[in-house]
């Protein structure tokens, strides 16, 4: 049976798990699918959620990136993936931190990367793996993080250049990706689970009065696909979350959601189709259930 490839382009270690972990695990378990995860930084600017590892932080020993590299390897293994690529090599670009912070100006910050340079490195991956499907963020990076925005730009430009036979022919034959998806969350899902955030020790929406004030999410009718996976895929996502121990601690909002919603509900992940033909769907909005359809 020939394999059909899916490439996920993410900004930092843990994004592959938090945003798309159940989807990754679902396709990694399919004998007809091949999954590649491309990560653009080591997440050096992340907040350390484990007190005994606090010295790793960027404003102290600045060793978090190396630690998160191994967390990412453990997490992707938990998801069933062995094809993990750090764009341009391990440490080529640095986590840029949140928008408007001094770390945006670090000379190696991914936010400062030349898009065509980074996209050219992604072309190497796309022409080598030749995926049918590419998954990344929307133009706002889902919630406005500069590295997520840059990952979107690089992924979309990389897909364009991979299909262009005049772009660096030494990389091999041109490859046109059949379908491209952006991660998203339906408004109905946000509304359903909004109250659960309040039970977390690190409620990310402290002071947000209603779901309408959240900086992400789209109306249900703008969603094209929902990959619910199965219980095994959802359990693999939860195991991968535990591997990212510096970023996701017990009592954090992600852990709380996983515990309160149950594995299968927490494992449902949603997407917008921005290139290609939408396959068969189900439910009131006829959402696709298979990104390869």
In tens, the pLDDT along 98-143 reads 999 999 999 999 999 999 999 999 999 999 999 999 999 999 999 9
pLDDT average, residue stretch 267-283:
94
Distance CA 10, CA 164 (A): 23
Per the prediction, the chain carries an average pLDDT of: 91
Instruction: Indicate if the alpha-carbon torsion angle 75, 78, 79, 82 is positive or negative.
Output: positive
Task: Give the rounded percent of residues in the chain with a pLDDT score beyond 90.
Answer: 75
User: Do residues 150 and 87 lie in contact, with contact meaning Cβ atoms separated by under 8 Å?
Assistant: no
Interval 252-274 mean pLDDT: 75
Q: Looking at residue 245, what is its pLDDT?
A: 94
Residue of 224, 178, 235 whose CA lies nearest to 25? 235
Decide if 186 is inside a domain. Answer: yes
Q: CA-based angle 37:131:22, to the nearest 5? A: 45
Range of 206-210, 217-221, 269-273 with top mean pLDDT: 269-273
In a domain, 69, yes or no: yes
Please report, for the domain that includes residue 268, its CATH number.
3.40.50.10320
Tokens of 38: 């491309």
Angle (nearest 5°) at CA 49 between 47 and 52: 115
Evaluate whether residue 113 is within a structural domain: yes
In terms of pLDDT, which residue wins out, 250 or 253?
250
Of all residues in the chain, the percent with pLDDT exceeding 70 is 89
The band of 26, judged by pLDDT with boundaries at 50, 70 and 90, is very high
In a domain, 293, yes or no: no
Radius of gyration of the chain (CA): 18
| Average pLDDT over every residue of 209-221 | 81
Instruction: Give the number of domains in the chain.
Output: 1
54 in a structural domain: yes
Q: Note whether residue 136 is domain-resident.
A: yes
* 26 token code pair: 């679902």
Q: In the numeric block, which tokens belong to residue 282?
A: 């189900």
Does the pLDDT of residue 166 top 80, yes or no? Answer: no
Contacts of 158 (CB under 8 A, 6+ apart): 9, 118, 119, 120, 122, 123, 126
**Helices 231-243, 64-79: inter-axial angle, 10-degree rounding:** 160
In this prediction the pTM is: 0.94
Q: What is the pLDDT of residue 193?
A: 74
Q: Is the pLDDT of residue 69 over 80?
A: yes
The range of the structural domain enclosing residue 9 comes to 4-288
């Amino acid at each position: 049976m020939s394999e059909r490839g899916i490439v996920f382009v993410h900004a930092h270690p843990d994004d592959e798990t938090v945003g798309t972990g159940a989807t990754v695990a679902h396709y990694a378990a399919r004998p007809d699918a091949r999954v590649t995860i491309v990560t653009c930084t080591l997440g050096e600017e992340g907040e350390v959620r484990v007190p005994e590892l606090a010295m790793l932080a960027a404003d102290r020993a600045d060793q978090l990136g190396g630690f998160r590299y191994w967390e990412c390897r453990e997490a992707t293994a938990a998801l069933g993936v062995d094809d993990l690529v750090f764009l341009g090599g391990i440490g080529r670009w640095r986590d840029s931190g949140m928008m408007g912070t001094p770390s945006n100006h670090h000379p190696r910050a991914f936010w400062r990367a030349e898009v065509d340079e980074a996209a050219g490195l992604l072309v190497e991956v796309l022409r080598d793996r030749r995926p049918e499907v590419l998954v990344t963020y929307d133009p706002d990076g889902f919630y406005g993080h500069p590295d997520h925005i840059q990952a979107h730009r690089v992924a979309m430009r990389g897909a364009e250049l991979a299909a262009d036979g005049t772009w660096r022919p030494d990389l091999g034959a041109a490859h046109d990706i059949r379908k491209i998806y952006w991660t998203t969350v339906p408004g109905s899902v946000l509304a359903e689970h909004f109250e659960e955030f309040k039970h977390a020790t690190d409620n990310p929406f402290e002071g947000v009065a209603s779901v309408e004030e959240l900086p992400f999410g789209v109306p249900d009718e703008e969603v094209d696909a929902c990959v619910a996976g199965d219980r095994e895929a959802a359990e693999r996502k939860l195991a991968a979350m535990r591997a990212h121990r510096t970023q996701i601690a017990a009592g954090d909002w992600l852990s709380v959601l996983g515990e309160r919603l149950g594995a299968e509900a927490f494992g449902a992940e949603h997407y917008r189709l921005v290139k290609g033909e939408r396959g068969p769907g189900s439910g009131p909005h006829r959402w696709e259930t298979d990104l390869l359809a």
